[in-house]
Structure 1
Amino acid sequence: MRDGMEEGGWESHRPKLTYPFDQGPKVGEAVDIAPGVKWLRMPLGGSLAWINVWAIAEADGWAIVDTGIGGIESRNAWRAALAGPLGGKPVTRVFVTHMHPDHIGMSGYLTRKFNARLWITRLEFTTCRSLAADTGREAPQDAIDFFRAAGWDEEALENYRAKFGGFGRGLYALPDSFRRLNDGDEVPIGDHVWRVVVGSGHSPEHASLYCPDLKLMISGDQVLPKISSNVSVFPTEPDGDPLTDWITSLNRIKATVPDDVLVLPAHNDPFFGLHARLEHLVGGHERGLARLYALLAEPKRVVDVFSVLFRRKIDENLLGLATGESLAHLNCLLARGQAVRERDGDGVDWYRAAA
């Protein structure tokens, strides 16, 4: 559960998607997706071994979409890719779908090495800068109160204090400027025009890129074939409703992007079946909300609801993401008028179904 949860259990009725490529590229290699579009991978480690990144041929080099997490392994992988399948040509522009370190982490390396511009939405850039500024800070009291309200015990809170401020460690020094992407922008990249399709919920202003001519959609984390992207509430916006934003975004993509595109996701393999996948993702969250609503017949804390939302055991390594995603579902029920929240004398929130 890094960018998302492996599906299964609750989500056992997965749609049948089509995967046209027998295997993906090894690190330092590339697979041709379409004329002038290459698929590369950058190493991540952990449950997600790599992130997919994309190179689009331009007249004088390569436009890159997403960059991998900051660090020596990614730097070495980029050196191998640039010298190998990218033919020693320079990077002309760097497009980043959103601000998570596995996507934006090496953008500063590539933009500085090639004097190239970062292209990203404004909210993703400014949010990333804000989170990076927390590196080395002491955990704020607002955040401690937030997780105490969710039902965390003192040991969990102490672990949070010890780990706080780690976001920036996954980043090469960020670029100091950027070119803004807006929803609906039509951006010439190489020989074709790519349309910016913005969604939110997983991140503030996530930009996918859709090319009608090539029938391709670089989806980032907005649409993944085998995992469900994490949608969380964070201490900085405790009353946010990102799940409603997420569901709205997925429905909007279904209405605006044709079903015949080849989807190029950040994780797993390229696939056909966009609309079926979107319907499955929305349906999965709606089923989760229904299970959660039924559980709230009796008052529950956030930490009491994991069993109806996640099929895997939530340990200390997953506690933060599970808490954020559970709060996203609870806040969605609050926004729909289906639940109420009450805080007890110890600062812990209890949720129950609305009468």
Structure 2
Amino acid sequence: MIREIQKDIYQIEVVLPNNPLKILNAYLIKGKDRNLLIDTGFAKKESYESLLRGLDKLNIDMKKTDVFLTHLHNDHISLVKYIIEDNCKVYMHPLDQKALRLLNDKAVWKSDEQFNEKMGFPKGRIGEALSSFRDLKEIEKQPKEFIYEDIFEDDIIKVGEYEFKCILTPGHTPGHCCLYEENNKILIGGDLILDKITPNISLNNKQWLANPLEAYIDSLNKVKKLQIDIILPSHRNCINGAKSRIEELKEHSYKRLEEVMRALQAKHISCPYDLAGCMNWNIRARSWEEFPLTQKFFALGETMANLVYLESKGLVERDIIQGKIYFSISTIGLSVLSNKA
């Protein structure tokens, strides 16, 4: 499906097969000389065909189209190598380029596997958990090799009558970026601000941000200062009430932090994986045991991000017991919960 959001700005629904998100919103901005495509989709047949249909209906010539990738996750970047032409620029912030290189390093990947297992994730099952994101050799076209074009905070991309400024908004990934059009008060927000659902703010990778939840909240506060009439997110619906949605997301984060503390108070000490099993998640499963393995991986990462945030405030404490990571609530944390009671 294609929607015209504003003059020369179109939303293309890209199918995400076998994924709870179901759809990626790619955006196409038409220009006189060159166009700009924001994000692409999984390197899977259904994603590829739905994106091509959208580009074809809009009469887009990829030889005259550059690509901006909001961040490094597979549902945003994996199709780019199948759709670009030789003269296409593919923009990505250097911080995410670096993180992507690390994620593709076998030694780093092995270290991350061990890190997740130290947090309690079932041994030897990380690859299985992430298998649904892998390329499935479904696309007949040969992928192109390319070099990312660096884009930094405050850089401008001009497309037709629009001037989009790059805004660095880490948290979801180290180099997550939004595009802001000041004259029309438009924010192309990637996974920073979503409608009805919350972005996954995780710590599954040792080389990731040291405190991703704190970085995410800082990014929300940063964007809140902008004059925004409409947010064009990567998933779900467009958002008209930017400031109120930002406050809802922050409030959700603070409630989740309190939930983590109360769960720790009840358990006294817990590894992050077991603690994740005590949390409330918006997923169709009757118990933690029935959670899909992929969702357990993301739940673990989100729980760890919350624990690291609380640890930075002195509210929880970390221990290493027989090579495993455990957390307990601190005296300060107990005092905070007592005052909330």
Aligned to 1:324: 301
Distance 2:148 2:109 in 1: 29
Distance 2:219 2:239 in 1: 20
Which letter maps to 1:296?
L
Aligned to 1:338: 315
Note if 1:242 corresponds to 2:208. no
Return closer, same or farther for 1:238/1:119 CA change in 2, 3 Å cut-off.
Answer: closer
Aligned to 1:52: 25
Alignment of 1:82-231 (within 5 A): 82-86=55-59, 90-111=63-84, 113=85, 115-134=87-106, 140=110, 142-152=111-121, 156-160=122-126, 162=128, 169=135, 173=143, 175-231=145-201
Measured after TM superposition, the shift of residue 99 of structure 1 is 0.7
Note if 1:353 corresponds to 2:329. yes
Identity across the alignment (%): 23
SS in 2 for 1:157: coil
Which letter maps to 2:330?
A
Alignment of 1:57-76 (within 5 A): 57-76=30-49
Q: Is the CA contact (8 Å cut-off) linking 1:32 and 1:38 kept in structure 2?
A: yes
Bigger Cα displacement from structure 2, 159-168 vs 304-313: 159-168
If the length of structure 2 is used for normalisation, what is the TM-score? 0.84
Aligned to 2:11: 39
Aligned to 2:336: none
Return closer, same or farther for 1:37/1:239 CA change in 2, 3 Å cut-off.
Answer: closer
Q: Which runs of 5+ in 2 are unaligned?
A: 332-341
RMSD (Å), alpha carbons: 2.6
Measured after TM superposition, the shift of residue 148 of structure 1 is 3.1
Return closer, same or farther for 1:170/1:268 CA change in 2, 3 Å cut-off.
Answer: farther
Structure with the larger RCO, 1 or 2 (CA within 8 Å, 6+ apart): 1
If the length of structure 1 is used for normalisation, what is the TM-score? 0.81
Q: Is the CA contact (8 Å cut-off) linking 2:63 and 2:88 kept in structure 1?
A: no
Q: Which runs of 5+ in 1 are unaligned?
A: 1-25
Note if 1:264 corresponds to 2:266. no
Q: How many residues align?
A: 317
SS in 1 for 2:270: coil
Considering fraction of residues, name the structure with more helix: 2
